[in-house]
């Protein structure tokens, strides 16, 4: 039976190409141990972060529908989040950066549906529901930060990637999946780690997406706010990590003011960060974002913008000074003096649009094989075609039924019979169609009559270049879902039995009755079969603490003995300290 995903007033606005990333939250698959992991992390974090996180954090937990006692359900979160204009959807681990950003642009948080295993309770390199729900969601209750996040998504989704960026995304996704799967072999993990390191060392010049991903990491994920001397935590990666939320405020971690320089500061998701950026306030985040956006091709356009799209080998868009938008995979650009682009070319399916709305009759079915057009002014004529009145067009031989020759700067020649022209709402001509048309650059043929009707874009310059299509309906698939799926953990009979014991203790806690005999039996089974499990006896001890009972003494002694194992010592000590307060 197909799992139905319910959309609300916020998620209904999402374009259809993003739906492919949304999965039904597998709530019934969370084990009682998963629930205990959530509870432990949340209680530790709330106790600590109440003092060291930004003041929005604790208030935001209530506003985002998050409880310390159980893993949140998407439906419950959404009922509460909609009051602040946001929503949440469940996804399978890391999704491509452009898609992640686009969700944010629509005021939607993407929340990885899996939860970290007990082995990675302090930190996991994989996105999980603790990181996403308990880290990201509370801070968006702050209106200024929420707007920053939305605006970041809006700008970030237009950032142009390099061809290597997607390869890096896939490598990091695979590494995070393998590291979180207890059934992964050391060889598998080491091989994936080496691949990530190899790519990190050979990325070349950072793309726009790589740089804006850095800005996202150093703010949304690992940001500090306030003064350098006494910063508070607001980044989700820190808010969701028991260990790093404490480590990050020590003198071992260098604190530097947050500036646009963070865009070129790379990071390693598998290690604690040795340096963090501190913003004085949330408004400063938006200031730096705008500073970076002013350097992006979406605002600069020009030859450099087209070249970024060509290098990306991915779907992108250029916008001309007339407002005409050309979306496709750009394969070539011819330039002229002073680095002026004079001809652009796409390969494969291409669509034309005006103001992000597909131009009727000019979708991918019409432009299946690509699109090419001169850009700029006619040679020796100061008046550009886009600025010509109907009378000017007639003077220069650009009218229906006229056989004409148009010689553009850069020696691009268009020779053919004008069929018609398309104008925008303001009456400006944006597209001219020809039949029996030949287009050349010096001796190179760019278009010939037997190829059919030639549609020529009108525009004296490229004012913008960005990732993705102008119109969301033009292409069936903007970004593909990764073939590397999150591994579903297969539990042994012994592990399933342990989870049953966790469930029994959870039921006892919820009933608010102390059943000592049951606790004795569970402790005996733990001693015999699960001598390394530390979290369940801690959950049991919570129920009998201060009861002056023999089971209380036995559980404390058992936990004290477990503390002799170095890897559990601090986790148990933290839990006991919290219960004692």
pLDDT digits (tens, 9 = 90+) for 310-347: 999 999 999 999 999 999 999 999 999 878 999 999 99
CA proximity to 200, closest of 289, 128, 101, 271:
271
CB 208 within 8 A of CB 159: yes
Rounded CA-CA distance 177/173 in Å is 6
Q: For residue 2, what pLDDT is reported?
A: 45
Q: For residue 442, what pLDDT is reported?
A: 93
Rounded CA-CA distance 313/325 in Å is 18
512's CB contacts (< 8 A; 6+ apart) are none
Can you give the pLDDT of all 581 residues of the chain as single tens digits? Answer: 345 567 778 888 998 889 888 988 989 999 999 999 999 999 998 888 889 999 999 888 878 878 889 999 888 888 888 888 999 899 887 788 888 899 999 999 998 888 888 988 887 767 788 888 888 888 988 999 999 999 999 999 999 998 788 777 778 778 877 877 777 888 888 888 888 878 777 777 889 999 999 999 999 999 999 999 999 999 988 988 878 888 999 999 999 999 999 999 988 777 788 999 999 999 999 999 999 999 999 999 999 999 999 999 999 999 999 999 999 999 999 999 878 999 999 999 999 999 999 999 999 999 999 999 999 999 999 899 999 999 999 999 999 999 999 999 999 999 999 999 999 888 889 999 999 999 999 999 999 999 999 999 999 999 999 999 999 889 876 566 666 667 677 889 999 999 999 999 999 999 888 888 999 999 999 999 999 999 999 999 999 999 889 999 999 999 999 998 888 899 999 999 999 88
Q: For residue 9, what pLDDT is reported?
A: 81
pLDDT digits (tens, 9 = 90+) for 235-261: 988 988 878 888 999 999 999 999 999
Query: DSSP class of residue 264?
Result: G
Rounded CA-CA distance 338/323 in Å is 23
- Radius of gyration of the chain, Cα coordinates, nearest whole angstrom: 29
Q: Is 425 strand, coil or helix?
A: coil
Give exposure, 241-273, as e/b (b: 16+ Cβ within 10 Å): bbebbbebbeeeeebeebebebbeeebebeeeb
185's CB contacts (< 8 A; 6+ apart) are none
Q: 């995304």: which residue's tokens?
A: 169
Q: For residue 485, what pLDDT is reported?
A: 65
Look up the pTM and report it.
0.87
SS3 per residue for 15-76: CHHHHHHECCCCHHHCCHHHHHHHHHHHHHHHHHHHHHECCHHHHHHHHCCCCCCCCCCHHH
Rounded CA-CA distance 135/45 in Å is 10
Q: Tokens representing 143?
A: 């209106």
pLDDT digits (tens, 9 = 90+) for 450-463: 999 999 999 999 99
Rounded CA-CA distance 262/224 in Å is 13
Q: At what angle do helices 32-52 and 56-63 cross, to 10 degrees?
A: 140
């Amino acid at each position: 039976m197909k799992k139905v995903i319910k959309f609300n007033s916020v998620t209904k606005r999402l374009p259809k190409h993003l739906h492919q990333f949304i999965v039904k939250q597998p709530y019934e698959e969370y084990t009682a141990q998963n629930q205990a992991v959530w509870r432990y992390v949340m209680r530790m974090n709330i106790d600590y972060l109440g003092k060291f996180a930004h003041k929005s954090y604790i208030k935001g937990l209530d506003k985002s529908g998050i409880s310390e006692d159980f893993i949140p359900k998407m439906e419950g979160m959404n009922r509460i989040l909609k009051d602040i204009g946001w929503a949440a959807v469940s996804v399978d681990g890391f999704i491509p950066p452009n898609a992640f950003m686009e969700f944010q642009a629509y005021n939607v948080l993407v929340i990885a549906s899996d939860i970290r295993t007990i082995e990675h309770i302090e930190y996991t390199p994989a996105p999980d529901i603790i990181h996403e729900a308990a880290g990201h969601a509370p801070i968006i209750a702050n209106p200024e930060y929420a707007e920053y996040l939305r605006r970041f998504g809006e700008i970030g989704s237009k950032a142009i990637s390099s061809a290597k960026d997607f390869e890096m995304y896939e490598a990091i996704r695979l590494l995070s999946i393998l590291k979180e799967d207890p059934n992964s072999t050391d060889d598998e993990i080491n091989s994936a780690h080496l691949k990530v390191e190899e790519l990190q060392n050979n990325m070349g010049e950072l793309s726009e997406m790589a740089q804006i991903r850095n800005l996202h990491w150093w703010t949304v994920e690992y940001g500090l706010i306030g003064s350098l001397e006494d910063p508070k935590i607001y980044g989700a990666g820190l808010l969701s990590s028991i260990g790093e939320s404490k480590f990050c405020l020590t003198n071992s971690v260098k604190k530097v003011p947050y500036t646009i320089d963070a865009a070129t500061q790379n990071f390693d998701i598998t290690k604690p960060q040795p340096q963090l950026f501190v913003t004085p306030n949330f408004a400063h985040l938006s200031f730096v974002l705008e500073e970076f956006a002013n350097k992006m091709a979406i605002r600069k356009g020009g030859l450099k913008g087209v070249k970024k799209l060509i290098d990306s080998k991915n779907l992108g868009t250029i916008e001309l000074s007339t407002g005409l938008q050309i979306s496709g995979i750009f394969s070539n650009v011819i330039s002229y003096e002073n680095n002026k682009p004079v001809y652009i070319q796409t390969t494969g399916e291409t669509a034309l649009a005006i103001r992000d709305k597909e131009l009727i009759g000019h979708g991918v079915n019409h432009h299946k094989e690509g699109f090419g057009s001169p850009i700029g002014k006619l040679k020796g004529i100061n008046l550009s075609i886009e600025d010509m009145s109907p009378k000017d067009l007639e003077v220069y031989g650009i009218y229906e039924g006229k056989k004409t020759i148009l010689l553009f700067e850069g020696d691009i020649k268009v020779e053919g019979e004008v069929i018609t022209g398309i104008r925008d709402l303001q009456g400006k001509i944006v597209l001219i169609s020809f039949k029996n048309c030949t287009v050349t650059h010096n001796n190179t043929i760019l278009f010939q009559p037997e190829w059919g009707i030639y549609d020529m874009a009108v525009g004296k310059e490229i004012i913008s270049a960005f990732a993705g299509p102008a119109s969301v309906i033009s292409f069936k698939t903007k970004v593909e879902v990764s073939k590397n799926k999150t591994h579903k953990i297969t539990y042994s009979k012994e592990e399933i039995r342990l989870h049953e014991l966790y469930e029994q203790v959870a039921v006892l806690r919820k009933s608010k009755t102390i059943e000592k005999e049951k606790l004795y039996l569970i402790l005996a089974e733990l001693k015999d079969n699960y001598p390394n499990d530390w979290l369940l006896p801690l959950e049991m001890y919570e129920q009998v603490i201060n009861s002056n009972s023999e089971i209380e003494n036995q559980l404390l002694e058992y936990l004290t003995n477990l503390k002799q194992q170095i890897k559990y010592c601090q986790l148990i000590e933290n839990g006991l300290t919290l219960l004692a307060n």
